[in-house]
Amino acid sequence: MSKIIAKVIVDNRASKTDKPYTYAVKKDMEEDLKQGMRVLVPFGMGNRFIKGIVIETERYSGDIFKLKYIEELLDDRPIISEEILELGLWMREKYLSSYLDALHAVMPPGDIKEITTYIYMKNRPSSETYSLSHIQKNIINLLNKNEKISFKELKEKIKDNNIRKHIKKLEEIGILETDLEVGTKVGKRYEKYIDLKDNNIKLEELISEIDNRAFKQKEIIEYLYMHGETPLKKLLKEVNTSHGVIKSLEKKNRIAIIEREVLRNPIPKGILNYEKHRLTEKQQYCLDEILNCIKENKENKFLIHGVTGSGKTEIYLQLIEKLIEKGKEAIVLVPEISLTPQTVERFVGRFGQNVAVLHSRLSAGERFDEWRRIKRGEVKIVVGARSAVFAPFNNLGIIIIDEEHENSYKSSMNPKYNAIEVAEKRCELEGAALVLGTATPSIETYYRAKNGEIKLLTLLDRINNKKLPIMNIVDMRDELNSGNKSILSTDLYNAIEENLKDKKQTILFLNRRGYSTFISCRKCGYIAKCKNCDISLTYHFSDNKLKCHYCGMIDTPPRICPKCGSKYIKYFGSGTQRVEDLIKKLFPQAKVARMDVDTTSRKGSHEKILQNVKNGNIDILIGTQMITKGLDFPLVTLVGIIAADTSLNLPDFRSSERTFQLLTQVGGRAGRGDFEGQVIVQTYNPKHFSIQMAKEHNYTQFYNKEILLRREFKYPPYMEIISLVIYGRDKGKVSEVSKEVYGKIILELRKNKLEKLEKDIFGPNPAPLEKLKNNHRWQIIFKSDKGDSSMLKDIINRVCIYNSQSKKYKGIKFSIDVNPNSIL
């Protein structure tokens, strides 16, 4: 007689347990057990019970006497759908992650161990309960006494093997309802927050009043000063302190404890209705094409390549409207949500309570609440950053990815997935359509569109035939030759002045924050570097500190050179703080704001700056890449790009692409209203093709040139790249292990008759970022044809997993990234 067996991934972090374990299933569980359910299983020598997830069930007619039995089912139904589970397993293979990491990515947010199924009374049964069984009546009786009861408790109270069937029956006839809850976080309505009592007092002053020995108190003040209002729990953890210290600060009247309601529905308040636009002919054409293709089951992958301001968002909105009418659901991915408030506002402004917004500032409980709202079908649209691609809809009609070229769609944590690829896979599994949109398609996406894998829809004009901005290139070498040493060229200076006179707004872009980007001794050449990262420290003027932008380390700038003792310490390189400083000096009459990581760490500060720009309270906005995304301000007519070369000079194969994207996107903020716009691009490489093509708004020509280089130098889309970084505290060991791992991989390749791949392996070498956060880093780069890549991945994975268990390699870690964003 055949039996049911189940493959289970156990929730245990040890890498050697990263494989499915097979368990036998007790007879009375057979019918209820489904893949995607959590179970309790005996594990290891001591048969300790641990939680796990069923990824597969199958009939088996062999001997099962050697197998252990699943002890208990923890869910009454799968907590993720079959498709989502498959998506997770696909990611594991594609991105070489562990089972557990891959499953965690697709499971409900938070600690899946903490999830409980609760049973509620939905409608009290009428008096005619004669059709109900004795057990069913008992269940109802229990629920008459309690608002809700956990599945586990119910099982303990009503000892019956068929309890699941009874619950199901009662659910079917509308008496009961089940729901998931996570931990104790949900249901709590208030949370304590801590903030400084007075935000206008300088840090030095606050600190000077505290006893020198009370260093924890100082740390708390510093933390609040930097981060603003912080949940108590987070503060205790971040500063690693106790309630007592907080209390004593409160007594001193330095901090305030605020009780805040934990919002169950985190949609920002005060969003205005976003009126529907009558589509232009071209927008209409796009919309119809997509709807027709979907209807006739022709294509279901689309790329809308529309210049900046061509009205892509309106197409998304109306597309979604049409699909919801048909009972479908929609996922919209946007780059880091906090950076695209205008886009989010449009979705909420159009669809209101039908939208769930998944942003990074949600608490764990809120995140889970949203997940549940989606799962229960209470919303039809999810707008969110990359992980929203896993939103648990059951009737998904479309996934839209706005600004598809953005690198935030690639995860830097395990599994290191690319949300575009994941979205595509999910759409295939669930029969949904995929729509990518951008003014500057990634080379990979455009390549696929040209090959007919994705249907290309092009919008060449801005809405109402507004002109694209004129791009003026300024050669900074000429400026220098004519005696201008300032970071502002004469042209840019004049244009700003003119714009101020005209009462128009200006955006200045520079991709470096801080004041000076490095400080150095003029006598001996010493450069102040981070001791954890070996990267030069950036000087921040406002708090007179040196900061590491990689690990956050803070240091005091030296007065005399720590190496040779000279006092000729000089500050080089300009960041946004210096630009702000200069602009304020040059144009004292202008209202200036700066937007970068340093000015937006306080909650709400980001929105406040943008609101001020919108209201016309700002004449000149200076910022980093934060100001490149989706901003739509009609009075912005001038955009100045202070240094186009910062992205161009990175030792990375995407540097030309990034530069083209950046210039086009930042430039695209100009002239979106009734007035024409102009862009001034300052550069030392005026002839570079990405700068030239951006100047001409000629994406296709840029693409044609870049794609040739990709082919010649064997980069994506022609080849798949795998970056293996080997890192650890011990420099010698890192290099030693790297060489050994390399040797083993080569051996394996030969064993598998894959010698031909050897010529496309680079390294092992120290990585371009050789030391980060106290880890030394070595790198091996593999390039392979798509056809060979799965074999290669298999080998890399095996060698690395094998090594990570070996005692010899203690303290060494491996990071594998498939088609990484950058290879630094």
Beta carbon nearer to ligand ATP, 306 or 365: 306
CA dist 581 and 574 (Å) reads 11
Smallest gap, in angstroms, from Cβ of residue 295 to Zn ion? 54
Closest CB to ligand ATP among residues 350, 359: 350
Tell me the C-alpha distance between 331 and 541, whole Å: 42
CA distance 517 to 503: 32
Residue 600 touches which of Zn ion, ligand ATP, none (CB < 5 to 8 A by kind)? Answer: none
Establish whether 533 is an annotated binding residue. Answer: yes
Q: How many residues does the chain have?
A: 824
Q: Based on the shown chain and the rule CB under 6 A, indicate whether residue 271 belongs to the binding site for ligand ATP.
A: no
Question: Which option in Zn ion, ligand ATP, none does residue 820 bind, with CB closer than 5 to 8 A by kind?
Answer: none
Q: How far is CA 355 from the centre of its chain?
A: 19
427 annotated to a ligand binding site: no
Least gap, CB of 280 to ligand ATP (angstroms): 5
Considering the complex, what minimum distance in angstroms separates the CB of residue 657 from ligand ATP?
17
286 is in an annotated binding site: no
Among ligand ATP, Zn ion, none, what binds residue 533 when CB lies within 5 to 8 Å by partner kind?
Zn ion
How many residues form the binding site for ligand ATP (CB under 6 A)? 18
Residues 540/562, Cβ–Cβ less than 8 Å: no
Read off the amino acid at residue 51: K
The listed partner (Zn ion, ligand ATP, none) that binds 551, CB under 5 to 8 Å by sort, is: Zn ion
CA 423 to chain centroid, in Å, comes to 14
Residue 342 C-beta: closest distance to ligand ATP, Å: 8
Answer for the pair 738, 775: CB distance below 8 angstroms, yes or no: no
Measured from the CB atom, is 24 or 279 closer to ligand ATP?
A: 279
Report DSSP letters for 341-376, one per residue: HHHHHHHHHHHGGGEEEE-TT--HHHHHHHHHHHHT
293 is in an annotated binding site: no
**Binding partner of residue 309 among ligand ATP, Zn ion, none, CB under 5 to 8 Å per kind?**
ligand ATP
110 binds ligand ATP (CB under 6 A): no
The smaller minimum CB distance to Zn ion, of residues 96 and 530, is found at 530
Q: Are 183 and 110 contacting, i.e. CB atoms less than 8 angstroms apart?
A: yes
576: partner contacted, choices Zn ion, ligand ATP, none (Cβ within 5-8 A by kind): none
Report which DSSP code applies to 14.
Answer: -
Question: Which CB sits closer to Zn ion, 397 or 575?
Answer: 575
Q: In which region does residue 544 sit, left (phi positive, over 0), alpha (psi from -120 to 50) or beta (all else)?
A: left
Nearer to ligand ATP by Cβ, of 142 and 463: the residue is: 463
Please identify which residue in 277, 298, 477, 522 interacts with ligand ATP, judged by CB under 6 A: 277
Tell me whether residue 111 or residue 238 sits nearer to Zn ion (CB atom): 238
d(CA 670, CA 648): 22
Q: Which residues bind Zn ion (CB under 5 A)?
A: 521, 523-524, 526, 530, 532-533, 548, 550-551, 553, 561, 563-564, 566
Please report, as a single letter, which amino acid is at residue 699: Y
Angle between helices 655-667 and 699-712 (to 10 degrees): 170
Structure token pair of residue 320: 């979604």
Q: How far apart are CA 118 and CA 318, in angstroms?
A: 38
Nearer to ligand ATP, 63 or 275 (CB): 275
**How far is Cα 155 from Cα 139, in angstroms, rounded to an integer?**
10
Between 314 and 369, CB nearer to ligand ATP: 314
- Given Zn ion, ligand ATP, none, residue 574, with its beta carbon under 5 to 8 Å by kind, binds none
The nearer residue to Zn ion, 468 or 533, going by C-beta atoms, is 533
From start to end of 431-502, where are the E strands?
433-438, 455-459, 470-475
DSSP 234: H
Would you say 800 is a known binding-site residue? Answer: no
In sequence order, which ranges of 99-188 are alpha helices (DSSP H)? 99-106, 134-145, 151-157, 163-172
- With beta carbons less than 8 A apart as the criterion, state whether 165 and 139 touch: no
| Contacts of ligand ATP in 630-659 (CB under 6 A) | 630, 632
Question: Which partner, Zn ion, ligand ATP, none, binds residue 561 by CB below 5 to 8 Å per kind?
Answer: Zn ion
Residue 312 contact partner, candidates ligand ATP, Zn ion, none, CB within 5 to 8 A by sort of partner: ligand ATP
Dihedral sign for Cα 786, 790, 795, 800, please: positive
668 binds ligand ATP (CB under 6 A): yes
Amino acid in position 57: T
Q: What angle do CA 50, 70, 32 make, to 5 degrees?
A: 120
Q: How many CB atoms neighbour CB 798 within 10 A? A: 13
Q: Shortest Cβ distance from residue 165 to ligand ATP (Å)? A: 52
Q: Which does 526 bind (CB under 5 to 8 A by kind): Zn ion, ligand ATP, none?
A: Zn ion
Contacts of 642 (CB under 8 A, 6+ apart): 487, 488, 508, 509, 510, 574, 579, 682
Measured from the CB of residue 277, what is the shortest distance to ligand ATP in angstroms?
Answer: 4
The secondary structure element, H or E, covering residue 216 is helix 215-227
Collect all residues with Cβ–Cβ distance below 8 Å to 261 and sequence separation of at least 6.
189, 190
Nearer to ligand ATP, 200 or 464 (CB): 464
Q: Pick one of 40, 463, 746, 824: the residue that binds ligand ATP (CB under 6 A).
A: 463
Residue among 590, 559, 536 nearest 582 (CA): 590
Contact partner, 530, from ligand ATP, Zn ion, none, Cβ < 5-8 Å per class: Zn ion
Q: Measured from the CB atom, is 252 or 277 closer to ligand ATP?
A: 277
The response to whether 561 counts as a known ligand-binding position is: yes
Torsions phi, psi of 442, nearest 5? -65, 150
> Quick one: what does residue 463 bind among ligand ATP, Zn ion, none, with the CB cut-off 5 to 8 Å set by partner type?
ligand ATP
**Least distance (Å) from ligand ATP to the CB of residue 604?**
23
Task: For the CB of residue 281, give the shortest distance to ligand ATP in the complex, in Å.
Answer: 10
CB-CB contact of 779 with 723 (8 Å): yes
User: What is the smallest separation between the CB atom of 528 and Zn ion, expressed in angstroms?
Assistant: 11
Draw the binding track, 278-317, toward ligand ATP (x: CB under 6 A; -: no contact).
xxx--x----------------------x-xxxxxxx---
Pick out residues in 427-456 that bind ligand ATP (CB under 6 A).
439
Q: Binding site membership for Zn(2+): which residues? A: 521, 524, 530, 533, 548, 551, 561, 564
Which residues carry a binding-site annotation?
Answer: 521, 524, 530, 533, 548, 551, 561, 564
The contact set with ligand ATP (CB under 6 A) reads 277-280, 283, 306, 308-314, 439, 463, 630, 632, 668
